Structure 1
Amino acid sequence: MSGFAAAVTRDVLAAPPRLGAVRLVAVDGPSGSGKSTLAAALVEAFAAAGASVALVSTDDFATWDDPFAWWPRLREGVLAPLARGRPGGYRRTEWTGGEPHPGSWVTIATPEVLIVEGVSAGRRSVCHLLSASLWVECPAGERLERAVARDGESSRPALVTWQNVETGWYAVDRTAERSTHRPPSG
């Protein structure tokens, strides 16, 4: 993964910024596919290259009841201010209940690279702002077991429903087809 992250880092830093002076990178793919792990490797690779980097997870916005329509909060709170060279911010939302986390305000200083990681991060409506779009996936059964291991056995029914919903999202948005990078399998 480190070789892949280093190659993506070189490509992104060579690309022009499209969100004001910020290079926006989306790490997208179905739940349980390894997006968070890849995003963490990218943060390390950008930092090692001397670039200032910030990471935002779509899990801080999405909920079981609102899997995709929360995007205006990210756009207005983070993307629009960063495009103007100003810090952005948002309140983290508790995934299962949809309530704000107490004391959960997150401020995003204007970085050279902003990584948005999570389901729908590379959606069609943001593709014109992306310096890179990464697509991460693995077989559905493996993804479900990873997600259950992460969230607990009691989450299995909700995760099955969620994975069906995200399959429909990706069929319509066609995110994978627009990706610029895919990590090697395995």
Structure 2
Amino acid sequence: MVTQSNIHFFANWAKERLDEMDATVISLESKAAEVQADVRDKAKKVLADLRSQRDDFRDTMKKQSEANEAAWIQTKAKLEADWGLFEAEVKKYVESFGKQIEHQQATFKLQADAQLKAWREVAEKLGSDAKKFASERRGDIDAAVKRMNADAIEAEKKLEKLNQAGTQSWSALMAALTETRTAFDRANEAAREAFKRAA
């Protein structure tokens, strides 16, 4: 039987995406006044759509909070599609209305900060959860947590380096976030498997 503690790995995945969505919407809203007057109404509509997508994502995630693993797996597929649509809409917004490099950098920084915060929170929670297992069954879990912490440090270095450069294109910044997000997903899945083996 899968324990509720194994379910939180799916929630970790969803929360990381939701945190990035929140950061993105906050950043774009803070720069909305800088959008040229002739396209401001169009930009406001896109922002409203982004807020709605984020809220729908959050609502779906909340509804799943007590679901079993099979339900989470099914919902994760829907949330992945929703995430992809959100990313595409953000890209379109930035290319249409947020062409100033400072606007892109500010959005990237908030997204990167949200992602790194999620890494730290998950690693801390996994470390705490690992203590609940007998020491002879904790080896894989401790290794997975250690690997997640090391991956988080590497991701932070990479994202900070890009942020300091300040002249990267939007696509390069998003590629870096995608790369570190994928590393987070791998680390989260490795930890999930380690917990399953130890259970």
Please state which band the TM-score falls in when normalised by the shorter chain: under 0.3
Higher strand proportion: 1
Q: TM-score, normalised by structure 1?
A: 0.27
Higher helix proportion: 2
Rg larger in structure: 2
